[in-house]
Amino acid sequence: MTERSEDLYPLALLMDELKHDDVANRVEAMKKLDTIALALGPQRTRDELVPFLTEVAQDDEDEVFAFLAEQLGKFVPYVGGNKYATLLLPALEILASTEETLVRDKAVNSLNNIAQELSQEQLFHDFIPLIENLATNEWFSSKVSACGLFKAVLVRVQDDKFRKELLALFLQLTQDDTPMVRRAAGRNLPTLIDLLTQNIHLSTNEDWDYISNMFQRLVGDSQDSVKFLAVEVLISILKFFNKKEDSTHTKGLLHSAVQLIGDEAWRVRYMAADCFEDLASQFTADPAYIEELVQPFLALCEDNESDVRKAIAKQIPGFAKLLPNSQIVLNKILPVVQTLCTDESETVRASLASEVTSLAPLLSKQEAIDNLIPILLNMLKDEFPDVRLNIITKLKVVNEATGIDFLTENLLPAITELAKDDNWRVRMAIIEYIPLLAEQLGVEFFDQQLADLCLSWLWDTVYSIRYAAVINLKKLTEVFGSDWSRERIISCLLKSDTQVLENFVYRITLLSALTELIPVVSAEVITDKILPFINHLSTDSVPNIRFNAAKSYAVMVETLGKEYNDLIKESVIIALEKLCQDSDVDVRYFAGQSLEKCKSLLS
């Protein structure tokens, strides 16, 4: 093969693969673009590969386009750096105009990445004209892509006239005939406003005239799927004026907020509910404004759409924190909480349960006991397990506000009931929460009320529960310490009677539990309590237990270290050497592995 043909080989190979009948082959070829570009070098990549890829961008399948769009965003180094980055724009402009959303999104991301590499001259000469081309194209797909590109240039345009022209172009997109274009503009508008907020020195009154016009267009849009985006736009506008410490627009923006909260379209109300704390927090400069939002808030709590109630239920504590005094919480908020806790929708009740405990610090201890605790007790009896679980997982804040007495008297029945639930996933969720609960309640309460329950999970009929119970004991040992584990866990496990130990499942579970505890207990506990038991099981009649005992020895040696060389050689090494002569092939295999590991640890 001649030198010239060797030079052409990578590109020729790529061209052949991109003409393959199978789409999967063409996709694989796209994944190798960076390798091909490296082989060709910057000059030939610019002269041959990029023009070829621009042709590919006009005629292939969406799967190929998606990979091409993504790869081109990383191609600046391969064409020779920033100076030549604009060569990549034509192919990406074509891809940004395709009908397939995934392809367009990847093309827009790549264009935004490349824009960061461009000089001011390149922006004005190449990138902004590209945006204008897309924004004025007759196809909606091009306009949708254009909406996502303004953020790359808006704050880099220092000239007020050019920024005004960009905003005027974006305003056109917000009033396009196609809802999909208006939706894309609405979705990207908060980002543009946030950029102006971060670079507040750039903005002018004319900029905000455009922004205000865009916002009003969104608020008045006939399509719910466009109109609901006005909520996030409003939040961004409020953040801008708060940063400017300009309150002249606040009253009018509050009116817009109330209008959106009470909109006839449930999607708009849902968005207002979902963002309520963030929205309300923009009005904290004047307590009177916050109070004006109380009634709209209560209306959302009583909305006829369960999705709206579900969204607002999570916002209750956040909004309550913004209220000027606790009496509003007592007289206005808690009554709707009482209603929501018996809502007909279980997802609404579960949503409320995930956050409602955070109301406790906002009330005095007596107010919490008299008004909030009855609600929590009611929810702990809910027939839907997620409601009970969500309350239990957030009890620390109630404990801090009301003391341990409430938890001692009322929590245990709920936990015990869930721990025995017929659904094993519910039992699993309780087990996973126990270590956190232990930290909240302390060792004394735990020993009295929950230690036996944790041990009982080791004998569950479902393997996943038994395994989770083993991990739970390890985490509890990390919380309460080695001495506690020896007295309350290990001693109890080793006291199992002979009849219990005749059951293979019991023996293997005990071995698993003790092995898991080895790294988190003291060396004394390992040598005095755990090692003798593993030695006993190393001669068990069941091969499965013998080879698991062999694995446990390796964990033990790794934990004890060289300080216990003599003990390890006298006990562990001898036991493993004996297991290496076992009649069962699996036992010999795992014993050999453990023996090799132990010797390497001791060397």
pLDDT confidence bin for 109, thresholds 50/70/90: very high
Query: What letter does residue 522 receive in the DSSP assignment?
Result: -
- The yes-or-no verdict on residue 306 having pLDDT over 90 is yes
Residue 264, sorted as left (phi over 0), alpha (psi -120 to 50) or beta, turns out to be alpha
Write the pLDDT tens digit of every residue in 265-280.
Answer: 999 999 999 999 999 9
Q: What is the Cα–Cα distance from 5 to 333, expressed in whole angstroms? A: 78
Model confidence over 516-529: pLDDT tens digits?
999 999 999 999 98
Name the region of 81 (left: φ>0; alpha: ψ -120 to 50; beta: rest): left
* Mean pLDDT over the full length of the chain: 86
pLDDT reported for residue 334 = 93
Q: What is the pLDDT of residue 15?
A: 67
Q: What is the mean pLDDT of residues 249-255?
A: 88
Axis-axis angle for helices 463-480, 424-441 (nearest 10): 10
Question: Torsion angle, CA of 355/361/362/365, rounded to 10 degrees?
Answer: 120
- pLDDT score of 434: 84
pLDDT digits (tens, 9 = 90+) for 441-477: 788 878 887 888 888 888 888 888 999 999 999 999 9
pLDDT digits (tens, 9 = 90+) for 357-376: 899 888 888 888 888 888 98
- Which one of 18-32, 419-433, 489-503 scores highest in mean pLDDT? 419-433
CA–CA separation, 112 and 73 (whole Å):
8
Q: Once rounded to an integer, what is the mean pLDDT over residues 73-81?
A: 89
Dihedral (Cα; 473, 479, 484, 486), 10-degree rounding: 40
| pLDDT value, residue 6 | 44
pLDDT of residue 236: 92
Is the pLDDT assigned to residue 562 strictly greater than 50? Answer: yes
Reported as a single tens digit per residue, the pLDDT across 212-225 is 899 999 999 889 88
Contact (Cβ atoms closer than 8 angstroms) between residue 189 and residue 229: yes
Question: What is the Cα–Cα distance from 34 to 74, expressed in whole angstroms?
Answer: 9
What's the average model confidence in pLDDT over 535-564? 90
The pLDDT tens digits of the residues spanning 372-395 come to 888 988 887 788 888 887 887 777
pLDDT band at 234 (very low <50, low <70, confident <90, very high): very high
Domains of the chain: 1-153 (1.25.10.10)
- pLDDT at 7 exceeding the cut of 60: no
pLDDT tens digits, residue range 463-515? 889 999 999 999 999 999 999 999 988 988 888 655 556 788 888 889 999 99
Range 294-306 average pLDDT = 95
- Residue 183 predicted with pLDDT over 90: yes
> DSSP string spanning 261-310?
HT-SSHHHHHHHHHTHHHHHGGGTTSHHHHHHTHHHHHHHHT-SSHHHHH
What the block records as the tokens of 365 is 């201890």
Half-sphere exposure of 520 (CA within 13 A, CB side): 22
Q: Tell me the CB-side half-sphere exposure of residue 213, using CA atoms within 13 A.
A: 15
In which band, very low, low, confident or very high, does the pLDDT at 2 lie, cut at 50, 70 and 90? very low
Residue 54 has pLDDT above 50, yes or no: yes
Average pLDDT rounded to a whole number, residues 421-444? 80
Read off the pLDDT of each residue in 153-173 and give the average, rounded to a whole number: 85
**Cα 476 to the center of its chain, rounded Å:** 26
* pLDDT at 1 (0 to 100): 40
Q: CB-hemisphere CA count at 13 Å for 330?
A: 13
The residue-averaged pLDDT of 10-34 equals: 72
Query: What residue type is 177 in one-letter code?
Result: D
Q: Is the pLDDT of residue 189 over 60?
A: yes
pTM for the predicted model, two decimal places: 0.73
CB 380 within 8 A of CB 372: no
Higher-confidence residue of 198 and 296: namely 296
Percent of the chain, pLDDT > 90? 41
Whether the predicted pLDDT of 262 surpasses 90: yes
